[in-house]
Structure 1
């Protein structure tokens, strides 16, 4: 696998966007390959974002769903349906009792055309690593991603133990008066720069901090040789990303499993 090269030259090489997404979540634990027909990631943590199915291709939902449900039993999890899943997966999940819980546009931008807004006054942006840096990073994104206080230590441990064979992950923290208040991360994998974990402490929102952290991650991706940057946008984040030049190129839809006796 090329973790750092510039394989993607077009915003519409969707297979590379989705491969980057799979590499990011599989780093938390799961399938050994990102090319299997049923791709499951499992952190083992009690958080719905950290466990799930990333793709189903070449098998039917009635055949594959029981296998996924067994692997993810006793955990909160989500089934991602994107452009790399077989047609009909979404409908078959609904027939099985799954619930559609939301969608996210897949957005992309060429990094040779990126704009870099000036950071807000007082914001210090830095890449972090090591135990203290990872802890600051997790604490800073916890409120944005629903990581409660009782789960934070476990998430710090998991972040510190992510697989490194699927790409290079660089974590970024934004500080105000020394306090870590915002985050982003960029994964250099499959020839693109994938941006994840963009979050700002609610007390510090609407100051341009999220845009600054996103732009910092984009710049890091460009420095590592990527030409195309990809992300999946929340409703809150999409307008910010549009202002930074991102455009929608596809969509992923999330489903929650039915309760089973």
Structure 2
């Protein structure tokens, strides 16, 4: 998440005692996150981060790793985060196998990485991110801006058909591993294998960059797709969401 936070103007990360704050700064709660990671995490740090986000007028979520302290639910409820969602963290131990045996299908749209020759696609890619997450246009503009595309360790992908952006995703490259983030397909382009194809392209490029394992957080919509690709659940986190 640090790669995403620092790839957006005004984004940042803070590390406390068993608690990490990641701020991308967009008007979508899932982009501003308090992670409670360890059994001895300090509530005071989490409270301070919640105050900081509230003071900035930013919506946020709390993500609770298995084994986190019992106070997390109380803090979330006091901050108006009344909904809970299961969030599987999934891994693939041998992504090379997928890239060799189940790469992008020949019948899906072309997939491009946004580099210097494709920056004109950024507005359409940002729109596809928003529509794929069923949010208003403009919400994700900063997430896939020029700064993110040029961020070391980050690559943004889009599948294209006749000038339309039909699916999108982000590769997060860290030592020895590749992260799959933000796979999103606008409703009118779903059920064509596009999210799977973008995921496979991200994994293939990640392996070429030295990854020997892959990781992602699975939404309910994507869980079955990732499971069929060979990802397995490593941990089940709890997300505390507004509402």
Q: Are residues 1:121 and 2:107 paired?
A: yes
Partner of 2:85: 102
Partner of 2:136: 148
Q: Distance in 2 between matches of 1:161 and 1:241?
A: 29
Give the superposition deviation at 1:46. 1.3
Q: Are residues 1:138 and 2:154 paired?
A: no
Q: List runs of 5+ in structure 2 lacking aligned partners.
A: none
Q: Are residues 1:75 and 2:55 paired?
A: no
Q: List runs of 5+ in structure 1 lacking aligned partners.
A: 1-20
TM-score for the superposition, normalised by structure 1? 0.77
Equivalent position SS for 1:46: coil
Partner of 1:30: 12
Give the superposition deviation at 1:32. 5.4
Specify which structure has the bigger relative contact order, considering alpha-carbon pairs within 8 angstroms and separated by 6 or more residues.
Answer: 1
Partner of 1:5: none
The number of aligned residues is: 232
Partner of 1:54: 35
Contact conserved, 1:108 with 1:229, CA < 8 A, in 2? yes
Q: Distance in 2 between matches of 1:206 and 1:96?
A: 39
Q: Distance in 1 between matches of 2:6 and 2:71?
A: 21
Q: Are residues 1:160 and 2:141 paired?
A: no
Contact conserved, 1:104 with 1:232, CA < 8 A, in 2? yes
Give the superposition deviation at 1:90. 3.6
Q: Distance in 2 between matches of 1:228 and 1:92?
A: 35
RMSD, aligned α-carbons: 2.8
User: Which string of whole-angstrom CA distances, capped at 9 and with x for unpartnered residues, describes residues 216-240 of structure 1?
Assistant: 1111111111010000111110111
Partner of 1:64: 45
Contact conserved, 2:3 with 2:153, CA < 8 A, in 1? no
